[in-house]
Amino acid sequence: MFEALAAMSTGKVVILGITAVLVAGILFVLVVATAAILGPGRRAVEGAMRAVPNFSGEETPRGVPMSLKILGIGVMFLTVGLGVVIAAVIPNLTGWAVFGIVLLAAGIGLLLFYLVVAKFEKTTPSPRSAEEVD
């Protein structure tokens, strides 16, 4: 193992070290975020969310159902994958062109998801506040 490391140039070893630090940092952030959302930190996050004022004008803001959130993630992955496929089919593209096509596809996916959510909110009745009930 160390023979391969010794055979590498200094630049490659530095890049490998930076990549290892970035991967370890991302994994640490993912573990901490998962613990905060699913574990004992959930109460702290909920308490912090209650402390944030609600400027939406509604008594209780309407939540987006979990199925709609999953749909948004699915649409995003689908359009990014479609952008990668389209970029792979077109010959002689530079790296920046491929990146641009993937970003364009992601933007189209977000726009489609926005249209779905807007239609969902139009068809879903808004929650009634305490004053309207009386």
Question: Is it the case that residue 133 has pLDDT exceeding 60?
Answer: no
Residue 134, CB-side half-sphere exposure with 13 Å CA sphere = 3
Q: Please state, rounded to an integer, the average pLDDT across all residues of the chain.
A: 77
Alpha-carbon distances, residue 19 vs 27, 55, 85, 96 (angstroms): 12, 41, 27, 21
DSSP 34-101: HHHHHSTTHHHHHHHHHHS---SSSSSPPPPPHHHHHHHHHHHHHHHHHHHHHHHHSSS--HHHHHHH
- Per-residue pLDDT of 23-33, as tens digits, reads 898 888 887 77
- Per-residue pLDDT of 103-124, as tens digits, reads 999 999 888 888 888 887 778 7
Distance separating alpha carbons of residues 39 and 129, to the nearest angstrom: 32
Alpha-carbon distances, residue 80 vs 6, 73, 95, 97, 126 (angstroms): 39, 11, 15, 14, 33
- Per-residue pLDDT of 12-65, as tens digits, reads 778 888 888 998 988 888 877 777 666 666 666 666 666 666 665 555 556 667
Q: Give this prediction's pTM.
A: 0.47
Confidence label for 130 from pLDDT (cuts 50, 70 and 90):
very low
The residue extents of the domains of the chain are 10-52, 62-122
pLDDT of 6? 73
